[in-house]
Homo-oligomer: A and B are copies of this chain.
Amino acid sequence: MINVAILGFGVVGSGVGEVIVMNNEKLAKSLGDGIAVKYIFDKREFEGTPWQKLVVHDIDIIMNDPDVNVVVECMGGAHPAYEFSLQAIKKGKSVVTSNKEVVAKFGHELLSAARENGVGYMFEASVGGGTPVIRPLVKCLVANEIDSVCGILNGTTNYILTMMNKYSESFESALSAAQEKGYAERDPSDDINGIDTCRKICILADIAFGYGMDSTTVYAEGITAIRNKDVALAEKLDSSIKLLGRAKRVGDRISVMVAPFIVSSERVISGIDDVFNAVAINGNAVGEVTLCGRGAGKLPTASAMVADIVDVAKNGGLNVSWCSPDETPDGILLTPDQVEDKYYVAFATHDASAVEEQMDVKILSQDASEIAVETPKMPYGELKNKLSALEAKEIKAVSVIRIF
């Protein structure tokens, strides 16, 4: 019997319990052994539910019980989730988590500790929710040098952008709707400012390139500056605006960043709407592989975590194959100003000639108050210089969005 202790029995934690009960027969068949929840660590009591008798408030009961094989960490926040995870690993228990903050900050340390102790540290659910991303990247595409990983990694912002696109809702009302539906936190700043996406793309970049990425220093732009006018123009161009995390090789350097992009409908991720996530991975043998699914939610996230439980129960530490990062060479990461893209820029002017003097642009639309253009590919720093030069002539850029 595989005995599981669940730390934090909120939405995701209780989902893990639910999936283990709901699909117990299938799991036992796949694993050749049963899975049972032995403990729930939470402040609450869950009175009147079948879970009540499993609740403990003293973490040491779990840590000191040799029958607990797997600790499922669904606490959220860096502390004490990190400390509990490390303690469990040192006690010879595998740890499964959905906590992207802990993985982004302490993933390498916890993986090393897991390797030393012959147990697993698994975190499929930390990126993409129920969408398989980490295991496909690590396992299915192992034969590839990864050229890029790019995707919609945050369901809240994708929902907001979808509402702005499909129903012409304002950013504010779309955000309120997301909060009402439980897709967005009361404080949505980590989502709408790109911080959540940034943690996830850093985890994927670590795995793809083998360097440690510090998500607190990686460039992240959110969606708060996106206007309905921009969304409508993208639609007219048979494209959509998506908040993307993007990690790619550029020569012998690497670019990792988060920003909204205008994505042509030719690309699968352009049509991934609502709270769905999608990740496009380019490998030097396989070409492009795209993985789509629910990026959050109780049962989808639990689906990923229970798969991790089965994996560590079957293979223990054997399957931990995220390579330790190489020493990250100084300057391997391009600065935001060095990264080249094409840009959509809207200027508050009706006179195209001054803009055309500055850049060889393609006019996308023009009305009494604004001109929207597509620029050639250039480093972001160069674009900023050109925009400053135009601003000095009182031609102000009111919107700048990268083109994917």
Contact = CB atoms under 8 A, between A and B. Distances in A.
Interface string A286-329: 11111111100101101111110111001100110101000000
Given A135-B136, A319-B315, A142 B310 contact: yes
A272 interface: yes
Contact of A139 (B29, B130, B142, B307): B307
Contacts of A290: 290-293
Given A289-B130, A290-B292, A318-B314, A304 B140 contact: yes
A23 interface: yes
A27 interface: yes
A97 interface: no
A131 interface: yes
A292 B289 contact: yes
A307 B26 contact: no
Contacts of A287: 130, 293-294, 297, 299-300
A118 interface: no
Contacts of A23: 143-145, 284-285
Contacts of A283: 303
Contact of A27 (B26, B140, B143): B143
B321 A318 contact: no
B141 A303 contact: yes
A305 B285 CA distance: 11
A336 interface: no
A268 interface: yes
A191 interface: no
A299 B287 CA distance: 8
A140 B145 contact: no
Interface string A28-56: 01100000000000000000000000000
A206 interface: no
Contacts of A311: 139
B289 A323 contact: no
A22 interface: yes
Interface in A134-164: 135-136, 139-145
A140 B136 contact: yes
A140 B144 contact: no
Contact of A310 (B143, B268, B297, B318): B143
Contact of A268 (B271, B284, B307, B318): B271
A124 interface: yes
A96 to B, nearest CB: 11
A111 to B, nearest CB: 14
A130 to B, nearest CB: 4
A14 to B, nearest CB: 13
A113 interface: no
A390 interface: no
A19 interface: yes
A260 interface: no
Most buried by B among A27, A136, A311, A315: A136
A130 B306 contact: no
Contact of A321 (B30, B268, B297): B30
23 contacts: A19-B143, A19-B285, A22-B284, A23-B145, A30-B321, A124-B140, A130-B287, A132-B140, A136-B136, A136-B140, A136-B291, A139-B307, A141-B307, A142-B307, A142-B310, A268-B272, A268-B292, A287-B299, A290-B291, A290-B292, A291-B291, A315-B315, A315-B318
Closest A-B pairs by Cβ, 3 of them? A143-B306, A132-B140, A286-B303
